[in-house]
Structures are given as C-alpha cells and as structure tokens.
Structure 1
Amino acid sequence: MRNMKTSARVVGGLFVTATAAGIVSAVLLESTDQATSAGAVLVLIMAVAIAMIPPTLFPILKEHNEALALGYVVARTLEVVLVLPATVGPLMTLAGAPADIVRIVTGTYDLWGHPGSMVFFCLSAAILNVLLFRSGLVPRWISGWALIAVVPYLADAGLVMSGALTPFSAIHSVLVIPLALNEMVLAGWLLTRGFTTAGAGHMRR
C-alpha cells in the first residue's frame, strides 16, 4: 500500500507539472524570441512529464484490465509524439530560419499537430477514467466527470482541425476547461489522498 501511495503522489505531481508547463509554454510561444525559446523548453518539460505518467500508472492499472492499461500507455505515447513538434518552429526561429518557413511549420502544427495530440489526450483520458471508474481507485464522481468532459474536449479538437476554431480562441477555452480542471482535481486527490484502498484491493482475477 505504501508503494501505491507513492505512485499516486508521483502521478499527481506529474499531472500538475505537465499542466503548468503546458499553460506557461502556450503563453511564451506567442511572445518574443527569448520567451519563445523558454516556451520550447517548457514544452519539452511537459512532454517528459506526460511520458512518465503511463509507466508509473501501468503496474496499478494492469491489475484491473491489462489490455486497457496498455491502450493507455500507447495513447499517451502518441500524444507525446505529437506534442514534441511544437518545439520545432521556435527552435527554427532561434537558428535563423526564414520567417516564411517558420510560419508554415508553425501553422501546420497548429492545424494538425496540436489538435492531433488533443485527440490522443482525450483517448488516454477516456481509457484512464474508465479504468478508474470500474476499479474505484478514486471516487467515481471524479472519473465520471472526466468521462463527460472528454466530449467537449474532443469536439474542440475536431473543430480546430476543420478550421472552425482557432487553437486559442475563447470558445476553445470553454470547451477544454472542464477536462483540464478535472485533471487538476484528480491530481490534487492523488497528492493528498492517494488511491482508494478498496479499489486498490480489487485486483483482476
């Protein structure tokens, strides 16, 4: 049980780190060249934090459903693969690449890479919270909230891909906030309470 509590705290900390780095990087990437380079570093920090979550959770999740646990690992890995190109445009700018080429690279990422990573984030969130809901590792109101909040988040990704929304518009924020807030509530629960003992004891037979 001590290992479960430690894992819960590590995962909670990683969720907070990934979210904080993601929010600050989004602001910095729209700023000056110096701030843009800092934003690129924060994207890398976010990607590393995201990448560390699945291997930390997998030993716990696989005891409830190994196939879904593997699906979670795959979905989060693909999310990281699609997040990393966000650093390419800023690094090209720092390297002195022509502005037109940088705009093309950045625009392509904003149109396809960013919403693509959102799709795999939604898939991973759905898989994780189905597992959490079934197992009772956290209160079901948290995992149930996440499963509902995935819907507008996924809709936002589709709208961005279709060009109906820009990635940082007001409507975009409204659609993604419910799931983003839920993730922070989950992180807070894991940091302070850990996994529910009853759920932790309900292992797959």
Structure 2
Amino acid sequence: MHRQTTARVAGSLFLTATAAGVLSAVLLGPLDTLHSPQSIADRAQRISAGALMVLVMTVAIAMIPPTLFPVLKKHGEAPALSYVAARIIEVVLLLPAAIGPLMMVATSTTQAAHLDTVRTLTQTYDLWGHPSSLVFFCLSALLLNYLLYRSRLVPRWISGWALVAVMPYLADAFLVMFGLLAPSSALHAVLVLPLALNEMVLAVWLLVRGFRAPQSALTAHVAARRGGIDHA
C-alpha cells in the first residue's frame, strides 16, 4: 500500500473508531440504572445499537495496527510489533463491552432468572475490564507516538503532544479501575480530553496531509539542528 494511502486509511479508521465509541456511549448510557427486565426491554433497541457501535469501534481499532505496521517497522520493528500487540490486547478487552449489553437484552426476555448474574458480570467488566483496555490503549499511544516522534512522519508537535497527554489519560484509567474516580465526573473528562483531541488532530492530519516524505523529515531534522547551532 502506498504511504499516503496508508496514512489516509489509518486516519479514516481513527475517526471511525472515535465516532463509533461516542455513539456507543450515547446509546448505551448507564446500564447500572436498569434494574428490571422491563426497563431493559424498553431500551432493547438502543442497547443493541450501542453494542453494535462498540463492535464497529473494535473492528476499526483492530484494523489500525496492520495498516500502520509496514510504515512503522522501518523506524523500529520492535516497538512497531509491541504497538500491534498492545492494540490486539485492547481489542480483546473491549469485546465484552459489546457482548455484555447483548446478553442483558437476551436474558431479560428469555431467561430473566439469570439477569442478575449477567448484570453483575457487566458491572465487574465496567469496573476492571474497560479501564484495563484503556491501559493498553495508553501503552499503544506511547509506542505509536514514540515512533512518529522519532521518524518525523508527522509534525513533532502532534506526537509530542500525545506523549505528554497520555499520562493524565493513564492516571484516569487507574483511578477509575480502583474506584477513586467516577467515569461521569468532570475530572474524568479533563484527564482524557487532551489525548482524545490529539488523536482527532492526528487523524485529520493523516487524512489531509498524509505522512511526511523521508526527504521532508530529514530536511526538518537538519533545519532543527542548524537552528540549535545558530542559537548557541
């Protein structure tokens, strides 16, 4: 695949994953407020649509690493492989976010006696599984942007921004995991927003500008070094 085609496909996948993730959150809403089979049945269509959006997000995320790997491996095969592995684990941890709601809908209409068990499993996933997927998302963001920063495939301000923004996002994941922060709190939004915005900026850059040519990256590197020498 041509480098610029790779960049545009990756940018589209980033945007698709984010859009599907936002839609899934809106459609699913807080599942812990559904206390009866009837309340679940009343929202069955929204819950099913939200679960479908989670699957769309998961598929888009799963397609990003193989799309980027041929480009990234030229700048560090080990971190590129680690990036692929981190995103695969993230995808595996995300799948229950789609399966759990679908199981709630199914058990509410056919096996209501098992609904409490399914609800407990879903709440356990929300407490541990989803934050764990965010930890691996942060790891993948570190690896990706380390490679982008080193290779100058995109402007360094984008990858540098991500390398800084990933730290509050990671802190948020652990705070939620250990019950010290609610996902509905304002602080949660503050901690995750910088990296979320960065990913959108990266996606738009890849769609509009693509990857920098090797010559452009080298020129930028030389210019930066000359600027440092002249300043000294």
Taking structure 2 as the reference length, the TM-score comes to: 0.83
Paired residues of 1:14 and 1:52 also in contact (CA < 8 A)? yes
Q: Distance in 2 between matches of 1:164 and 1:53?
A: 32
CA offsets per residue over residues 30-88 of structure 1, 9 Å max, x none? 27221010000000000000000000000000001000000000000000000011012
Paired residues of 1:135 and 1:199 also in contact (CA < 8 A)? no
2:197 maps to 1:177 = no
Q: Distance in 2 between matches of 1:188 and 1:143?
A: 14
Shifted more, 85-94 versus 97-106: the winner is: 97-106
Paired residues of 2:104 and 2:115 also in contact (CA < 8 A)? yes
2:87 maps to 1:76 = yes
Paired residues of 1:40 and 1:87 also in contact (CA < 8 A)? yes
Q: Distance in 1 between matches of 2:12 and 2:184?
A: 26
Q: How many percent identity over aligned positions?
A: 67
- Which residue, 125, 132, 145 being the options, matches 1:116? 132
Gaps of 5+ in 2: 31-42, 219-232
Q: Distance in 1 between matches of 2:49 and 2:164?
A: 34
Segments of 4+ moved more than 4 angstroms: 199-202
Q: Distance in 2 between matches of 1:178 and 1:199?
A: 30
Count of matched residue pairs: 201
| Paired amino acid for 1:83 | L
- Which secondary structure does the structure 2 equivalent of 1:137 belong to? coil
- Deviation, structure 1 residue 91: 1.0
Residue of structure 2 in register with 1:158 after alignment? 174
- Deviation, structure 1 residue 26: 1.0
- Which secondary structure does the structure 1 equivalent of 2:2 belong to? helix
- Deviation, structure 1 residue 201: 7.2
Bigger Rg, structure 1 or 2:
2
CA offsets per residue over residues 63-122 of structure 1, 9 Å max, x none? 010000000000000000000110122111221253322321121111111100000000
Residue of structure 2 in register with 1:61 after alignment? 72
Residue of structure 2 in register with 1:141 after alignment? 157
Paired residues of 2:151 and 2:217 also in contact (CA < 8 A)? no
